[in-house]
């Protein structure tokens, strides 16, 4: 690939380490990208409220595709630029499908406001008993039926004793192509987005706004929710720690995120 005109990166397992911080070498590589005038975009399953603490590590990085493509967010101004949501009726139908396919799973929804820290109330809401897949996560608990009274950017099904792969296999036959199923954590978590919404669709909007064709975009990722993005860009790079399905479709495999895999590739041009 020639020098890219836009760089996109997943966050967890790709850009940062288990401690949620980037290594000095990765910080330096991203800084050189930004200093050269090339956009660096965060593309993640995280909601907007989990972006500022990442973006603040990287001066000049503010644009993010969040919630697996459902939200475009500007961390510099704390502004949700656009959001695609699942309406209440669809959420209720998805809950019924989950009940049939994954009767022991807990459900939760992620909502979005005008910014990451607005005053419109809680963003992550779950039924009682929900166990987070990530440490240090918080949520508001409410009766299951009330979860689906407002639009949400994604529905989450959590089953700690199943793998995420197995959960997707069980749920997919019941929902078909009506929604997009994926996961960013292998330990019993399925994330459901509106049909057609992927990291690729969100990144495509930002690239189009910047006047950059897919062929001139490079992207990095490690989990199945990164596959559409890595397929769409001109050069898709899987981290050495990536899920087997990601390794299988990538144009290139670099070192693990804990071994400066992203920096190793970017240093060719920056």
Strands (E), 76-139: 79-83, 106-110, 124-126
Helix (H) or strand (E) holding 180: strand 179-182
**Domain 6-83+198-266 = CATH 3.40.640.10:** no
Q: Cβ contacts of residue 199 below 8 Å, gap of 6+? A: 10, 43, 65, 68, 69, 221, 225, 226, 228, 229
Three-state DSSP class for 88?
helix
- Tokens linked to 59: 């001066």
Q: Smallest Cα–Cα separation from 110: which of 80, 67, 142, 69? A: 67
Q: CA dihedral defined by 170, 173, 179, 185, rounded to 10 degrees?
A: 20
Say what the pLDDT of residue 233 is.
98
Reported as a single tens digit per residue, the pLDDT across 42-78 is 999 999 999 999 999 999 999 999 999 999 999 999 9
Q: Which burial class, exposed, middle or buried, applies to 33 when counting CB atoms under 10 A from its CB (0-12, 13-18, 19+)?
A: buried
In 135-226, which residue ranges form alpha helices assigned H by DSSP?
164-175, 199-210
Rounded Cα distance between 149 and 263, Å, is: 44
- Give the domain 88-194 fold: 3.30.1240
Write the DSSP symbol of residue 144: G
User: Which pLDDT band holds residue 139 (cuts at 50, 70, 90)?
Assistant: confident
Q: How many residues does the chain have?
A: 270
pLDDT, average across residues 67-94: 96
- Averaged pLDDT of the chain: 95
Domains of the chain, by residue range, sit at 6-83+198-266, 88-194
Write the DSSP symbol of residue 164: H
Q: Fold match between 6-83+198-266 and 88-194?
A: no
Rounded Cα distance between 129 and 143, Å, is: 11
User: Which pLDDT band holds residue 119 (cuts at 50, 70, 90)?
Assistant: low
């Amino acid at each position: 690939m020639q020098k890219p005109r836009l760089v996109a990166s997943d966050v967890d397992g790709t850009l940062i380490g288990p401690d949620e911080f980037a290594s000095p070498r990765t910080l330096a590589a991203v800084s050189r990208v930004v200093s050269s005038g090339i956009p660096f975009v965060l593309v993640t399953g995280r909601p907007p409220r989990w972006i500022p603490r990442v973006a603040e590590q990287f001066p000049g990085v503010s644009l993010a595709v969040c919630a697996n493509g459902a939200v475009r967010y500007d961390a510099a101004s704390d502004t949700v630029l656009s959001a695609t949501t699942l309406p209440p009726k669809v959420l209720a139908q998805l809950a019924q499908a989950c009940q049939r396919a994954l009767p022991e799973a807990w459900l939760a929804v992620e909502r979005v406001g005008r910014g990451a820290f607005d005053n419109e109330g809680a963003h992550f809401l779950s039924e009682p008993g929900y166990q987070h897949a990530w440490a240090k996560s918080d949520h508001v608990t409410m009766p299951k039926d009330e979860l689906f009274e407002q639009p949400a950017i994604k529905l989450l099904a959590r089953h700690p004793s199943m793998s995420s792969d197995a959960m997707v296999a069980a749920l997919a036959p019941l929902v078909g192509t009506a929604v997009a199923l994926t996961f960013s954590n292998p330990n019993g978590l399925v994330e459901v987005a509106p049909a057609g919404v992927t990291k690729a669709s969100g990144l495509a909007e930002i690239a189009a706004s910047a006047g950059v064709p897919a062929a001139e975009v490079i992207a990095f990722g490690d989990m199945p929710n990164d596959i559409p993005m890595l397929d769409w860009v001109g050069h898709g790079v899987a981290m050495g720690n990536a899920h087997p399905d990601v390794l299988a479709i990538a144009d290139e495999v670099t070192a693990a995120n804990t071994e400066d895999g992203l920096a190793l590739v970017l240093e060719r041009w920056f």
